[in-house]
Amino acid sequence: MGLNLIEVLRTLDMYPDHWHSWEEPFFHHTRVERESRLIEREEFHEVPIEPSSWKKWLSQSRSPADLRKVIFVDGVRRIHRRLYGGDGTEGCVAEIIVGHLLWDKNGSIVPCRSPRVVRIVALPEHKIRRLRERSAYIPLLEAFNFELVSLSPQGEDRVSRTVNNRLLLEESNYLRFLVGHGEGFVIKDGTIHPGAPLFSGIRFGPVGLVKRVLREHLPLDTLAILKELGRGERTPFYAVYLREREDILRIMCYLRISEPEPYGNPMKGIVRLEMIVGRMDFEDDCGRKRLKKEISVVFDSLAIFLSSLTIKGCDLPRSPENLPVIASLEEWLSSFFLPSDYISALLEGGISS
């Protein structure tokens, strides 16, 4: 069963932080790879990165493949309560839920039987070392075990960094399982980070769908072409070095999934598709040619498929970039969270009594 969390927090002089209510940031959780940079070698990109080459490429016809089964993957996190120590230290009680929906060409959309649920209590490392076990329970919630984890030593907000990094780890492990199982093509909501499976082909992916574009690598004159895309059109893909010390590349393209509004933001409806591949696969001439052809077919197929999932006039938060199927997945996953108010009441009442 583990340790009684109320007794643990009392012993460690940790208390619920009354300045913070529960936190559930669905919108995005970023981890910027500052070392990433555009690859200068033209053969690594679908076409040279300059406006005339892109416009000529956009005028050509595409040859997409048929997607019969697609798996949408997402993860959500909730910080139920932040903790504060008498010595100025901090921590939190949080939950992470990762799961998927299976879309079938026959028209069915089925959720996974049981999403991955991870419950953690993050505490400073010097306090964790004093404990004899690494699991705990909250009285009256004995059936739900919480893992005691060390708070991240870095970050402006170490609590959020700890929870976000654990979410990224759980998402990567979940993707690895799905790709290995091979039930369908895997699309992850959000960025594909190091640690996730490399692109394994047109049958399984995985590919990341980035709704909010925060980082660009393209020259401004080439980037301006994004505004000219019609619904279902994508840009040529291009490659960036993810980190100089890692043999991983990120391959990206931009896609418009909904018609632009006459007087609206020209970037509305633009998303980014991306995957990670091994650098050695692109260094080899034969391997690069084969891989680039496969990547091109995948992005062409996703351009048509994802654009078909948008609903005109849909009043979902963050639409049209947040597809209804992904919004439904987020909402369904969030239903597995324990009630934050109840957890707070148990913590406050137990520690103060």
Question: pLDDT 10s digit of each residue in the chain, 353 long?
Answer: 788 999 988 888 888 887 766 665 544 444 444 557 888 888 889 999 989 999 999 988 877 777 889 999 999 999 999 999 878 889 999 999 999 999 988 878 888 888 999 999 999 998 888 888 888 889 988 889 999 999 988 777 889 899 999 999 999 999 999 998 878 899 999 888 888 999 988 888 899 999 877 666 788 888 888 888 888 899 999 998 876 556 888 999 999 988 877 776 777 888 999 999 988 888 888 888 889 999 999 999 999 999 888 876 666 666 676 788 898 999 999 999 999 999 988 988 766 55
Q: What is the helix (H) or strand (E) element at residue 277, kind and residue range?
A: strand 270-278
Please name the residue that has the structure tokens 């406006």. 51
* Helix spans in the chain (H): 5-12, 51-58, 125-128, 158-181, 220-223, 279-283, 285-307, 324-334, 340-352
Report the alpha-carbon distance of residue 298 to residue 201 in Å, rounded.
Answer: 8
φ and ψ of 74, to 5 deg: -150, 160
Report the alpha-carbon distance of residue 291 to residue 231 in Å, rounded.
Answer: 26
DSSP-based three-state secondary structure for 184? coil
CB 207 within 8 A of CB 187: yes
Q: How far is CA 332 from the centre of its chain?
A: 16
